[in-house]
Amino acid sequence: MMDDLFGALRARETLAQGAVLLPGAALSRQERLMAQVGDIVSQAPLRRLATPGGRRFSVEMTNCGSLGWHSDAAGYRYESRDPLSGRFWPALPADWITFAQEMAAQAGFGGFQPQACLLNRYAPGARMGLHQDRDETALNSPIVSVSLGLAAQFLFGGAERTDPVRKLRLVSGDVVVWGGASRLFYHGVAPLAPDHHPLTGACRWNLTFRRVSAEDSP
């Protein structure tokens, strides 16, 4: 509650070169975003993917857009169809594209054309180990990340896995945009603490908008 009331009052913060936190930037549209998340999940159900090494992610994932992120024994990659159903992923809602473009522009990245949105759901205890987002060839495009529901400790490191990690509390409605010099910085999410949020109940959602292919494709 207090997070919601004061979220929009926290100041924009530069985390690293090319990485900016826009506190509360999605607050006014978070109810609509979650309703749309429900639509997407009804078409492409959440699943716990396996890493190439055979471990299961604790986070549940799905996608929308012309491409979706997938992982199994064959590796990390983007797929144009949901491997579970063989169907194309649900479309990126038009207002999601516009919103992601606005957020990217506010962070200094004009002309962002997202192709994929990865939807992550964290139940209590779910976490995301330190990683780089490097399955996209469009490394000149930023990633736009929207947090919804329960707050999480976001871990923001540097170019090397062993670089010091900064802990950042992300609350519902927060948007992080990063690209440029920090596009390949290591990051992760600490295990989610059990709590309740009026928007999402017992969980946290994170939406990440990505441009995958560098070519001039739509």
Helix (H) or strand (E) holding 61: strand 60-65
Under 8 Å between Cβ of 70 and 125: no
β-sheet bridge partners, residue 169: 153
Query: Any idea what DSSP says for residue 11?
Result: P
**Contact call for residue 136 and Fe ion (CB under 5 A):** no
- The closest alpha carbon to 19, from 181, 131, 157, belongs to 181
For residue 143, state whether it binds ligand MD6 (rule: CB under 6 A).
yes
What is the 3 state secondary structure string of 119-141?
EEEECCCCCEEEECCCCCCCCCC
DSSP 215: S
Q: Using CB distances below 5 to 8 A depending on partner kind, what does residue 119 bind out of ligand MD6, Fe ion, none?
A: none
Q: Give yes or no for residue 82 binding Fe ion (CB under 5 A).
A: no
Binder of residue 120, out of ligand MD6, Fe ion, none (CB less than 5 to 8 A by kind): ligand MD6
Site string for ligand MD6, 186-205 (x = CB under 6 A): -x-x----------------
Nearest approach in angstroms of CB 9 to Fe ion is 27
133 binds Fe ion (CB under 5 A): yes
User: Is 119 among the residues that bind ligand MD6 (CB under 6 A)?
Assistant: no
Pairing of strands 175-178, 19-22: antiparallel
136 makes contact, choosing from ligand MD6, Fe ion, none, with CB < 5 to 8 Å by partner type, with none
Write out the residues near ligand MD6 by the rule CB under 6 A: 120, 128, 133, 143, 145, 154, 176, 178, 187, 189, 206, 208
